[in-house]
Structure 1
Amino acid sequence: MLIEFGSVIIAYLVGSIPAGLLVSKFSGGVDPRQAGSKNIGATNVMRVAGKKAAALTLIGDLLKGLLPVAAARLFNLPEEGLLLAGLSAILGHIFPVYLKFKGGKGVATSFGVFLGISPLIALIALLIWIAGISFSKYSSVGALSAFAALPFLAVLLKPEMKFVLFSTIISILVYIRHKENIQRLIAGREEQAHRNEG
């Protein structure tokens, strides 16, 4: 129980590390919180600091989800321990203690978590994300498509109630964080927003 509690706390602190902000600063770019969409995720980092910085941010955010789950597995924690560590890392990214609880949207970190728990589901979600971007040209559509499919993938490929519930909770969190994107997509203003943020 003590190890599980410790893994949750450490996962949250690791998830809170603002990879996008750190990469942008070291790359000589502007603070991503002060430009573009004012988000610390890879998409906005690409706008304000370039593709290399965005790639490093993506890797950093992914590792923030993967490493806590891998560590929990290394300590032979039960499935519940893996899920709690994963959820804590995602919450850390979305509500980072280092940035007054104002973080990213949770997409890359969630992918890292699912990569550590169910690589097959993570791979299929990634393919859906890529397809969504290819058809729409919007990163938000790719993310929304992948996370809409996530609970169904869980039911089909890992139909354990706790995992299905976990997947559903993560999907809801990501959709809540994409609320403004959804509103713009419905209103047909997402393209204009991308031009303004570029």
Structure 2
Amino acid sequence: MSLPVSSILVVVAAYLIGSLSFAVIVSRLMGMDDPRSYGSGNPGATNVLRSGRKGAALATLLLDAAKGWLPVFLVRRFGVAYGLDENVAALAGLAAFLGHLYPVFFGFKGGKGVATAAGVLLGIDWMLGLATGLTWIIIAFFFRYSSLAALVAAFFAPAYYLLGGGIAWPLHRGVLAAIVVMGLLLVWRHRENIRRLLAGTESRLGAKAKAAKTSSS
């Protein structure tokens, strides 16, 4: 079944929103080095944190999460009048996530999508986002690896959605599919981190950036 024009427009708009690489934008506005030129070279909040500018890292984190949350929220809040359901909202969130990974405005070279995926989950249901976010925090606190925390959270997110189905929120196949796809893409984008974790060479949270791209996420 083909998507109606309204759904296609929503997905395209969500992708364009997701294509705003806030790690680069915030760094430029604050007169900092391009985050793609140090640390892991990844345009994300974790790598911006390696610059030592915690405010810039926090701004990047919040904005990257917001661009995942906003399309889902808008579709769920106003989409009913246009025939847009929960599945379209999840598809919009997935499109924003893909925009972060492959941004059209930045040569299709984006970040790993952890904060944006968290925003999408918050848009789907705040309890789902909270549960997944707490999982990330717990793993990051005890092990000090951002990449490991992201991988564990990506694994648990679909499980949380299924466990909460019929209790905290209704189950939708399209929503579950979007969460699974995001999780698989997160694992794929962290493939180099996985190799470093296995080799014991992954950088821990709080490590200072190096000019060469040798760090992790």
TM over 0.5: yes
Aligned pair partner of 1:91 in 88, 91, 98: 98
- Segments of 5+ residues of structure 2 without an aligned counterpart are 166-170, 211-217
2:129 is matched with: 122
Mean CA deviation greater in 109-118 or 151-160:
151-160
Indicate the SS of the match to 1:113: helix
Matches within 5 A, 1:2-151: 2-48=5-51, 50-73=53-76, 74-76=78-80, 77-151=84-158
TM-score by length of 1: 0.94
Residue type at the aligned position of 1:7: V
Residue type at the aligned position of 2:122: L
8 Å Cα contact 2:91/2:175 also seen in 1:
no
Q: Matches of 2:163 and 2:52 in 1, distance apart? A: 40
1:175 is matched with: 187
Identity %: 42
Residue type at the aligned position of 2:200: G
Q: Matches of 1:156 and 1:13 in 2, distance apart? A: 32
Shift of 1:157: 1.1
- Residue 142 to residue 192, structure 1, CA distance change in 2 (3 Å): closer
Shift of 1:66: 0.8
Residue type at the aligned position of 1:166: A
8 Å Cα contact 1:24/1:49 also seen in 2:
no
Task: Name the count of aligned residue pairs.
Answer: 198
Q: Matches of 2:110 and 2:137 in 1, distance apart? A: 23
Q: 1:162 and 2:186 equivalent?
A: no
8 Å Cα contact 1:47/1:197 also seen in 2:
yes
Q: Matches of 2:41 and 2:201 in 1, distance apart? A: 17
Shift of 1:97: 0.3
- Segments of 5+ residues of structure 1 without an aligned counterpart are none
Residue type at the aligned position of 2:90: L
- Residue 40 to residue 191, structure 1, CA distance change in 2 (3 Å): closer
TM-score by length of 2: 0.86
Q: Matches of 2:196 and 2:10 in 1, distance apart? A: 38
Indicate the SS of the match to 2:90: helix
8 Å Cα contact 2:102/2:108 also seen in 1:
yes
Higher relative contact order (CA 8 A, sep 6+): 2
Q: Matches of 2:64 and 2:204 in 1, distance apart? A: 27
Q: Matches of 1:165 and 1:72 in 2, distance apart? A: 17
